Chain A
Amino acid sequence: MSTPTLAAPEQRAMDLLRFATAGSVDDGKSTLIGRLLYDTKSLFTDQLAAVEAVSAARGDEYTNLALLTDGLRAEREQGITIDVAYRYFATPRRKFIIADTPGHIQYTRNMVTGASTADLALILVDARKGLVEQSRRHAFLCSLLRVPHLVLCVNKMDLVDWSQEVYERIADEFTAFAAKLEAPDLSVIPISALKGDNIATRSENMPWYEGPSLLHHLERVHIASDRNLVDVRFPVQYVIRPQSTTVTDYRGYAGQVASGVLKPGDEVMVLPSGFTSRIAAIDTADGPVAEAFPPMSVTVRLEDEIDISRGDLICRPNNAPAVAQDIEAMVCWMDETKPLRVGGKYSLKHTTRSVRAVVRDLHYRLDVNSLHRDEEAGELKLNEIGRLRLRTTAPLLADEYRRNRTTGGFILVDEASNRTVAAGMIVEAS
């Protein structure tokens, strides 16, 4: 075998964009995903052949691309999508991970899951129907989860004669709604997923549209500055202490940089103890590095011997998160077996720290369609969202979720069943 050399530079320079798609089969979401995969040559002939065979056997009039993403037996039998499916494709500029979230069943839970890691969310509407309740709900959940980029695809433009007027009416209405949501960067693109218009290339049927095709937008949307490079937050994941005769006295704090930039020589503070030290070195298996920033996984060594363990957090003395046991948060309840109730006790996982938490107060339940706050609500059921106050057994090292998605997010776990029952976003910690 010859000695490997570096791959073609264009492949090496690719970055990664994670996006979530929201919508139902009726909106053409599966067709759109199928089209993106097809146009980027990411759809394999044996996958396509399998889908064609199943479609034909079921008597579908056209090849049902939804079968590509509906992988489970029950989904195929019932013609529904149960769960988040992950899909992958790449262009020479970027690698993409799609979290494909279903529209109907357990909708909020799946959308929240898919959106939690997304850089961008893609919402589909049918041009004939315009905005529906579901489109507003999608937009709200994206803003709740702080997905930095939002793309509204006005689909099925072929069925409205490529009408600029129809497109503009929907775009204006959505833009006005999004403005109320502190929505992030928003783009609106008229497409026909079925015909391929404005998917990989600009449509010739809509010369009035001057923006980019969807793929062009996905390839170029600027995501690097979405990362927080200001607030140094390094949750300690694991302490590396080799039991070895060749490597002695090594004590490194392993973790993934949540935000900020760390450099050797920086003065740092360790929470919750509050002790300060300086970074002696930042190690990786490939050697020490001069800087560490998100999403690097590294091992930090400090100049002083301080007692540090998993769940502690390294930050800067003049820029620290709250050390807090009273947590105000928005919570999305995800368990169908029992509701969240005031007084309920749960295990809470936040960064690399696990504590116990009790629900002290449920301020209100939010209607995700009207955004109405029901202050009389006594519990949260599956897919319901509410604002609560929690008290934890030990402090969290927490930021507001709007400032930091890693140090601001948590999950609740039922202590008896061990199920993940809620996603939480910290509003205020004290």
Chain B
Amino acid sequence: MPPAYRVSHLAALEAESIFVMREVVAELERPVLLFSGGKDSIVMLRLAEKAFAPARIPFPVMHVDTGHNFPEVLKYRDRRVAELGLQLVVASVPEAIESGLVVEPGDGMRNRIQTPVLLDAVEKYRFDALFGGARRDEEKARAKERVFSFRDEFGQWDPKNQRPELWSLYNGRHHAGESIRVFPLSNWTELDVWHYIQQERLDLPSIYYAHERQVLSRDGMLYAVNEFIQPRGAEQPFTAKVRYRTVGDASCTAAVESAADTVEKVIDEVAATRITERGATRGDDRVSEAAMEDRKREGYF
């Protein structure tokens, strides 16, 4: 066979993700893409651009804003949305606390209360398909998630009762009020995402690359000292060279020590690392063995 018919794994993943996005737009009425300014949603947005070129991306993007943001990421979000001429829907957790939809948890971690805020926005805008950047390699409950993942009218995931997913025949049928979560990056790994960022020359929020920052060590992880995280007890802030492997709520996302200040160096680092990205950086996953599954059942991504 001529070598010209070879397809690299990255090209195959890209083609699959583009196929998935086109299926959604063809079969569902009101899709929306969850865009946080994190690397996975940035890759997803690029895939959406490619899937519908030369037309514009035919759906809005939504950010579930916990109010605990990294300023660099918010700036990035707004710039990207303007460049692509997209409509941005912000589902605001602080506003939901204000209105009484959710109650601020005692520990200040807003991860769990994002879910009702997300579901409220879905209902308000009548979205029937939500693109999320979750990957199966991230976490063991996610390893069992479908590409088209059905949610009932309460946004709940029932892991024991999932639709079988055969070939590339995705079933997006649902009744009014129900919805489908769609994960175009299901088969990507963290390393694939970084290779794609490199290939596509995607610009990322600067916190993904090594920089000096005031941090403190808590539960074995390095947290940036900011308005949400202040030293407690014997904790002593210090300056370290760090970068973020994931970008989530600024009150529960930790940094990792790193000297990787370019995409090439990050790729080398990710290829050599022996700790998963969520294990290294997410306080919210440490609650229990099945923390992610429990949150997902309630409607979390």
Q: Which residues of A contact B (CB under 8 A)?
A: 1-7, 11-16, 41, 44-47, 50, 54, 68-74, 76, 82-88, 90, 94-95, 97, 109-110, 112-113, 116-117, 224-225, 227, 229, 237-238, 240-244, 247, 250, 254-256, 261, 283-286, 291, 293-297, 299, 310, 334, 347, 349-350, 352, 405-406, 409-411, 413, 418-420, 423
Contact B195 A113 (CB under 8 A): no
B16 to chain A, nearest CB (A): 7
B199 to chain A, nearest CB (A): 8
- Chain A residues, CB < 8 A from B49: 285
- Chain B residues, CB < 8 A from A90: 9, 189, 191
Contact A419 B275 (CB under 8 A): no
Contact B5 A411 (CB under 8 A): no
Contact A409 B276 (CB under 8 A): no
Contact A237 B160 (CB under 8 A): no
Contact A112 B56 (CB under 8 A): no
Interchain CB contact (< 8 A) of B279 among A47, A69, A82, A295? A47
Contact B187 A238 (CB under 8 A): no
Q: Which of A68, A76, A97 has the most CB of B within 10 A?
A: A97
Interchain CB contact (< 8 A) of B169 among A5, A112, A244, A411? A411
Interchain CB contact (< 8 A) of B160 among A5, A7, A74, A117? A74
* CB proximity to A under 8 Å, residues B144-179: 144, 150, 159-160, 162-169, 171, 173-175
B90 to chain A, nearest CB (A): 26
Given A88-B189, A243-B55, verify A113-B164 contact (CB < 8 Å).
yes
Nearest A residue (CB) for B279 = A46
Contact B289 A95 (CB under 8 A): no
- Chain A residues, CB < 8 A from B23: 237, 352
Contact A225 B1 (CB under 8 A): yes
Contact A244 B55 (CB under 8 A): yes
Q: List 18 A-B contacts (CB under 8 A).
A: A2-B264, A4-B197, A14-B8, A16-B13, A46-B276, A86-B143, A88-B189, A95-B189, A116-B167, A117-B168, A229-B5, A284-B53, A286-B50, A295-B16, A296-B7, A297-B18, A334-B164, A413-B173
- Please report the C-alpha to C-alpha distance between residue A48 and residue B267 in the assembled complex, in whole angstroms: 23
Given A71-B293, A83-B162, verify A1-B262 contact (CB < 8 Å).
yes
Contact A349 B171 (CB under 8 A): yes
- Please report the C-alpha to C-alpha distance between residue A255 and residue B26 in the assembled complex, in whole angstroms: 11
Interchain CB contact (< 8 A) of A247 among B7, B54, B160, B174? B54
Contact B209 A85 (CB under 8 A): no
Interchain CB contact (< 8 A) of B50 among A41, A69, A285, A295? A285
- Chain B residues, CB < 8 A from A13: 8
Interchain CB contact (< 8 A) of A349 among B12, B139, B162, B169? B169
Given A1-B263, A238-B25, A411-B166, verify A85-B55 contact (CB < 8 Å).
no
Interchain CB contact (< 8 A) of B274 among A44, A350, A413? A44
Tell me, yes or no, whether B22 is within 8 Å of chain A by CB.
yes
- Chain B residues, CB < 8 A from A83: 144, 159-160, 162
Interchain CB contact (< 8 A) of A47 among B7, B54, B263, B276? B276
